[in-house]
Amino acid sequence: MAEVNTIPLSTQKSELESNFPELLVVKPKQDRTGLPPLEGAEQGKVVTRFPPEPNGYPHIGHAKAAIIDEEYAKMYGGKLIFRFDDTNPENERLEYYAAIKVGLDWLGIKYDQIKNTSDDIELIYKKAEEFIQSGYAYVCTCSKETISKNRREMTDCKCRAGDLSQNTKRWKDMFGKYKQGDAIVRYRGDMHSENTVMRDPTLLRIIDEPHPIHKSKYRVWPNYDFAVAIEDSIDGITHAFRTKEYELRNDLYYEILDKLKMRKPKVLEFARLEFDGMPVSKRILKPLVQEGKVSGYDDPRLPTLEAMRRRGIVPEAIRKFVLSLSFTKSDTLAPFDTLESFNRKIIDSTSIRLFMVTDPVKLIVKNNNVEKIEISNHPQKDMGKRNLQIDGSFYVSGDDAKSLKSGDEIRLLELYNARITKTGSEIEAEITDNKFKSEIPKIQWVPVRNAVKIEVLIPKILFVNEQFNENSLEIKQALVEPYYLELNVGAEIQFVRNGYCRKDSANQVIYTHK
């Protein structure tokens, strides 16, 4: 070997080429774009699913899941099933079904089928009966506390030893005699398993709360593990993606399907997506909404889809962003920066340019000789022009005003150059010429006569070190050109030298990003 290494590389190569050409074939290791290939995926046969519980408003986490589900289906020419996992009436509401669907449509996710797990309850009952009949499950009437204690201590309870007739009778009683909390169906797993999930987990339980769709038709409801496994299998799912915290439940998932002799999808996990200082959990968000610390679930500081839409984040940016995070299990606290960057590149070409002034200071041009000016709405794209009436009185931003000294020459953007003759609370200036000079400061302005007053909502980070940031929403007063009034709500605007904003209402914009 050492001897081989003394031979020049080129010689080694030619030796190999003549003797063992197959060794030189380079393995396919080229850079990929998008998601990594799926194990065991066949072109045209992949079926994925997006299974949210309708228990809240959709957020960036839903977006990640849905986009991954859709992208993989697309990548393999397969299908995407949009399924509401609505098996806990206590948490679910009709408005959430709608909100999630609206969010998904906004994201541009195309699914081939939409369904509710709750529509398959009868079928799930059949599977449960099959389980009970074959002894893979039993009905347990122990208290919550006892069950929890037994699971921790790995000890069986007396219900576990119950025979078929007892279980059959108890199963019947779950639909009538028993009260909520009295009895549950448990999987006969392994009370000594190292995986706590396998220590006889719950499969079905009684919930009397009426279901948003089925009202009081059912009161025995499958829990997540049982419902998902069965649904995925019968829906023909080939690849089921879920977030990492479900990983321990894989054993259960596969075992349920194994015992039921049902087809097994491949389950894969990905990291949860959350932004730093922008929690998605209902536990944290709900009190904020209730206490009025945020204006609602569409408050622009929130990572909900509705909030991001209002703020001016576009779906394409979210998709690019999610894809840039790839499919990994490593914990990510995502960089909002990157999302903003993707967004900026997309909306730049569709954002109308307007002038906005904050902390206004008057600037009077003594020898104004312009009455009207026409300005392009976009530097490159043809987005029309707007007219501005000029009378020599302008507002400029306080920041700009502060830096001006007598004798300075400035350019009022798109208008003319002027020399400052007086500073202070009201600035005075005189026109010098109208040649474009790259070296003088260029500042934006608004005519005093018909300036429009608006509010700019500037969302900041919601939580700093787990603490609610009381200054997370800055509201700035600003003056803009009258043309603003002609724009539709929802319009993306780039206020020159200020940043991108989305028109939220007649007199309010939300600051999207720089």
Partner RNA sequence: GCUCCUGUGGUGUAGUCCGGCUAAGCAUACUGCCCUCUCAAGGCAGUGAUCCCGGGUUCAAAUCCCGGCGGGAGCACCA
Of 197 and 314, which has the nearer Cβ to RNA? 197
Give the C-alpha separation, 398 to 446, whole Å: 13
Residue in 57, 76, 97, 327 binding RNA, rule: CB under 7 A: 327
For 298, phi then psi, to 5°, come to -110, 15
Report which of 481, 47, 65 is spatially closest to residue 242, judged by C-alpha positions.
65
Shortest distance in whole angstroms from residue 218 CB to RNA = 12
Of 40 and 181, which has the nearer Cβ to RNA? 181
Segment interacting with RNA (CB under 7 A) among 209-217, 238-246, 423-431, 472-480 = 238-246
Residue in 63, 107, 207, 240 binding RNA, rule: CB under 7 A: 207
118 binds RNA (CB under 7 A): no
Of 325 and 448, which has the nearer Cβ to RNA? 325
Residue in 209, 298, 348, 455 binding RNA, rule: CB under 7 A: 348
Shortest distance in whole angstroms from residue 34 CB to RNA = 10
Report which of 309, 304, 313 is spatially closest to residue 285, judged by C-alpha positions.
304
Shortest distance in whole angstroms from residue 55 CB to RNA = 7
Question: What residues contact 339, with CB distance under 8 A and at least 6 apart?
Answer: 313, 317, 318, 321
Strand, helix or coil at 207?
A: coil
Give the C-alpha separation, 321 to 276, whole Å: 15
By CB neighbour count within 10 A (0-12 exposed, 13-18 middle, 19+ buried), where does 376 fall?
A: middle
Segment interacting with RNA (CB under 7 A) among 30-38, 118-126, 163-171, 481-489 = 30-38
Shortest distance in whole angstroms from residue 315 CB to RNA = 18
Of residues 366-385, those binding RNA (CB under 7 A): 379
Strand, helix or coil at 368?
A: coil
Shortest distance in whole angstroms from residue 505 CB to RNA = 24
Report which of 3, 111, 97 is spatially closest to residue 48, judged by C-alpha positions.
111
360 binds RNA (CB under 7 A): no
Of residues 432-451, those binding RNA (CB under 7 A): 434, 436, 438, 442-443
Segment interacting with RNA (CB under 7 A) among 21-29, 302-310, 363-371, 454-462 = 21-29
Of residues 135-174, those binding RNA (CB under 7 A): 143-144, 147-148, 151-152
Residue in 166, 168, 341, 358 binding RNA, rule: CB under 7 A: 341
Residues 266 and 250: beta-carbon distance below 8 Å: no
Sign of CA dihedral 388, 396, 510, 449: negative
Of 211 and 301, which has the nearer Cβ to RNA? 211
Question: What residues contact 398, with CB distance under 8 A and at least 6 apart?
Answer: 358, 359, 360, 361
